[in-house]
Structure 1
Amino acid sequence: MNKCKQIYGVDISKNVFDVVDSKEIHSQFKNDGKGFKAFHKALPADALVVMEATGYYHYRLAQFLYEKNVNVSVVNPLSVKRFIQMKLSKVKTDKSDAKAICEYATVNEVPPYTAKDKNQAECLQLIRLIDIYLKQTTALKNKLHGEKTLGKPSKTVYHSLNRSLKAVQKEIKILEDRLTEIVKEEQQKQLTLVKSIPGLGNKTAIMLIVLTYAAHQPHLLT
């Protein structure tokens, strides 16, 4: 059980976020700066705001409230889904989702959101995008190899592929640099220890640290 008197379940979508509190009062706000401020203004001092990890959408609101010293928790959507299934609820609306999140937090201990969560979540986003770019790199290299096999019948196509490959590789470098920056800032000591393992490079060490942390913070994985 959570000690806060008023619990607010939040369901976030692209344009709005729905809120249902412990008294089952429903309200809706725009998913932007003005909406965040309006929601914050309506919160009592002892409020606990709980939301699911929903990719980009929840980060902005969670961080905004955290910086305003509001008690915030970001929970694993799978845990809430299982909770709903146990209640045998078949109604699926934003309002019902917000209510379910509120009820979930009422009967379960929920983890406090911290700025560190935000950094680790960014790390996971970076890794996912790097993975996408690496797949694009492989595809472009294979296509270039195919063009070479054909004897470069179209210089325009060949040069376009080369430019695209260099552009993707540049983006990967930018993302990897940011990933390194975050890990060094948060866990330099651990990074040094992991890198001391023979045969383990800097990139692999960083990936290992981020994914190990995420395994213990399941709400960040979704």
Structure 2
Amino acid sequence: MTKDRKIYGIDISKSVFDIYNQDTGHFQLQNDEKGFKTLLKSLSKDALVVMEATGYYHYRLAQFLYKKGVLVSVVNPLSVKRFIQMKLAKVKTDKSDAKSICEYGIFNEVPLYNALTDVQ
């Protein structure tokens, strides 16, 4: 599933989210509707966005992208943490986490996000 897709790793926090893709590199956007729309414009048509489950912070972005028809995967943060530890990475920043999440999506079969309805 991921071999023919452009994988975008996202590390999301309260005010910003960091995005990494192998072709475009790293960039950062505000964690608001304007940032979501900017991200949507920058995604390729064959994009798969991978992010960690971070409670409320990931939910808004995942729902937005899903409703716009973008493939999204929300993965367990512990799985990503163990993946990073296996690489023996010593640097831990939002930028490096976005890159690691992207790599996690490239090397692992990730589940697709199934959005909740507005009522749920």
Q: TM-score range by the shorter chain?
A: over 0.9
Q: Return the letter of the residue paired with 1:58.
A: H
Counterpart for residue 11 of structure 2 = 11
Check the 8 A contact 1:24/1:99 in 2, yes or no.
Answer: no
Structure 1 unaligned residues grouped into runs of 5+ = 120-180, 183-222
Counterpart for residue 81 of structure 1 = 81
Matched residues, number: 120
Q: What value does the CA root-mean-square deviation take over the aligned residues? A: 1.7
Check the 8 A contact 2:3/2:106 in 1, yes or no.
Answer: no
Counterpart for residue 114 of structure 2 = 114
- Which has more helix, going by share of residues? 1
Q: Return the letter of the residue paired with 1:93.
A: T
- Find the aligned partners of 1:114 and 1:4 in 2 and give their Cα distance: 21
Counterpart for residue 132 of structure 1 = none
- Find the aligned partners of 1:113 and 1:85 in 2 and give their Cα distance: 25
Trace 1:201-220 onto structure 2 (pairs within 5 A).
Answer: none
- Find the aligned partners of 2:70 and 2:56 in 1 and give their Cα distance: 20
Identity within the alignment, %: 68
Structure 2 unaligned residues grouped into runs of 5+ = none
- Find the aligned partners of 2:14 and 2:43 in 1 and give their Cα distance: 22
- Which has more strand, going by share of residues? 2
Trace 1:1-222 onto structure 2 (pairs within 5 A).
Answer: 2-23=2-23, 25-116=25-116, 182=120
Bigger radius of gyration:
1
Q: Return the letter of the residue paired with 1:92.
A: K
TM-score (norm 2): 0.94
TM-score (norm 1): 0.52
- Find the aligned partners of 2:87 and 2:41 in 1 and give their Cα distance: 32
Check the 8 A contact 1:16/1:30 in 2, yes or no.
Answer: yes
SS of 1:57 mapped into structure 2: helix
Q: Taking CA–CA contacts closer than 8 Å with sequence separation of 6 or more, which of the two structures ends up with the larger relative contact order?
A: 2
- Find the aligned partners of 1:4 and 1:35 in 2 and give their Cα distance: 26
